[in-house]
Amino acid sequence: MQTLTIEVKDDFMTEFMKILDNAKDNIIVKKDGVPLGHKNLELDPHFYERQKKLQKIRDDIKSGKAEMLTQEQYDTEMEQFFEKLEK
């Protein structure tokens, strides 16, 4: 088996998937290393993209690149934000 990476323009993806469907017995189509048809992708086609973004956010918080607010800090900042909106 060989692996090939292909980038497809968004507006051609539907047509491209139809082409691949004709060869489904001879190829395995994966997105981010996960075979299409995987339950998470069926429920949410952007699941793995969001998962990567969330992992980066968590890594940034752990490394100190990003600050996570306490609930009290968040509440205070949101109150101030809404007060500014009302003005």
Contacts of 61 (CB under 8 A, 6+ apart): 67, 68
Would you give per-residue pLDDT tens digits along the chain (87 residues)? 777 778 888 888 888 888 877 877 787 777 666 666 555 555 666 777 888 899 999 999 999 999 889 999 999 999 999 999 998
pTM for the full predicted model:
0.40
Hey, what's the torsion of the CAs at 35, 40, 42, 48, to 10 degrees? -70
